[in-house]
Structure 1
């Protein structure tokens, strides 16, 4: 039995909650993972896991052992990265999940520079607008927009997305240009709906003009849960849509989208990188987070007003806690 492999398999089973899911994220077969854990229990002469047909849970001994093993594995990684060569060039596989429009328009174009600087980091990048189970899916970090609602995750604020309201010229020719957000409730107008990954319902948008505040739901004939599909529906003339400026800029310049409600304000959307509280902040994770933060400083900097009201994040080793929402990433 390879003790390191056995410890890693044990931790992954605990975090994933099943042998099947652990095997998938370790890129091993279920039988091998099961045997490693069984061999570890036999060596320790202690039952670490309670197994049922539905779930896997820790025994009292297993819970105590898990806490120590997590620290041991983190210390081993620290020992590796403490060497001068490893510290200068972080290496290894990093599993991240990011919103699809942000990946396409900002991260991917800049990725060659990241690779040139850190050639030994292998990125497994999930590109989606879904809610990700960081622990169960064995993801090191996610990049998401929205306010923090769950204190079970660590997060670092890395940007602020400015939002605007847009529509395709063809749509405005057909439906007319709405003069007030309430006009979107009219039978002649419609929006493109964005489905919240958390609730499954269409996200409502709050708009402000001086002392007036309006929560807009609007009528829709299509609602989607993906940012790229959301933009595509708007470009096709399916309705009015709310977009971060970075997504709309090129289309406005080409005349494919037209800003509407120019005198109304939509609250900016904070952008966070979040990761599990028990996940060691490795050198490769730290440099990735710092790279994303520097990149977003160019494309979506946090305003001075937002920075005054936001919790201080410090560096990646001591961030504020919370889980970002998934609406309109």
Structure 2
């Protein structure tokens, strides 16, 4: 079997050094060994790679094209070796993660605390914020964000790790007093506790029995920009609310809340991880990505 990598290193060093003698010195080989290695490579490829005279040595057109491919291939091999080396090194140093406030407290932080316990040399810093952050200016390694990510910046890598399902809930007491809506159309006869940011009220995009999406506008007297307050109001019987599964899972299991319209398709919101594009991803960032990607989906999609 032909060793396809034979002579590649000698060829690249010779091309970059401008002479076989200097390439041999850098490779700790004899000039003759470098020359023979490149000669065998040229024979295998069926083309001349160098134009050699007594005074100078230059690449042929074929040699220049082959050199460019070889440089990329060697860079990939270097990256592979670096990745394997990094995987053998226990993650250490500071890991700075930015995450939405409530989702971060409920779902992300427990997993990162588990990561810190697993790797004693790892320092974990979590920033809880719902605003858009700048990874470079704020020295952040990894961000967790909800919502559609249509055009991530070129200097970032984004990975979708799951979808948070949004469901309509109410307390058993409210449903006993006002009845349980069976269709999306029947929701309009009920009171809602709405999420509102500033002056902007957010309607409920819901699918009806035909799977057609529509935005439902509900009667309401209560509006909050805090999901935990909305949950408390709904548990107290103030009305219905559209909430993420991960937030109400325990209340559903305990019977403090009931899911409404369980038979209709539930809309979802994407959850992404994003980090700076780099040739060698630090092991502290890699283990965090792997853990969150493996564990967050179950938390996102379990309504109890």
Q: Give your verdict on TM over 0.5.
A: yes
Q: Which runs of 5+ in 1 are unaligned?
A: 1-77, 303-329
Report the counterpart of residue 124 of structure 2 in structure 1. 123
Change (3 A) 1:196 1:147: farther
Q: Alignment partner of 1:195: what SS?
A: strand
Greater RCO, CA 8 A, separation 6+: 1
Does the alignment pair 1:179 with 2:185? Answer: no
Change (3 A) 1:135 1:191: farther
Change (3 A) 1:130 1:230: farther
Report the counterpart of residue 227 of structure 1 in structure 2. 227
Change (3 A) 1:226 1:126: farther
Report the TM-score, using the length of structure 2 for normalisation: 0.60
User: CA separation in 1, counterparts of 2:296 and 2:213?
Assistant: 29
Change (3 A) 1:119 1:217: farther
Contact 1:95–1:139 under 8 Å retained in 2: yes
Does the alignment pair 1:162 with 2:149? Answer: no
1:142 deviates by 1.8
Q: Alignment partner of 2:208: what SS?
A: strand
1:273 deviates by 0.7
Contact 1:91–1:121 under 8 Å retained in 2: yes
Greater Rg over alpha carbons, structure: 2
Report the counterpart of residue 54 of structure 1 in structure 2. none
1:202 deviates by 1.8
Contact 1:100–1:227 under 8 Å retained in 2: no
CA deviations on 1:62-112 (whole Å, 9 max, x unpaired) are xxxxxxxxxxxxxxxx9xx98969952222222212234433433344444
Q: Which runs of 5+ in 2 are unaligned?
A: 1-78
1:280 deviates by 7.3
Aligned residue-pair number: 220
1:257 deviates by 0.3
Contact 1:128–1:226 under 8 Å retained in 2: no
Two-structure CA RMSD over aligned residues (Å): 3.4
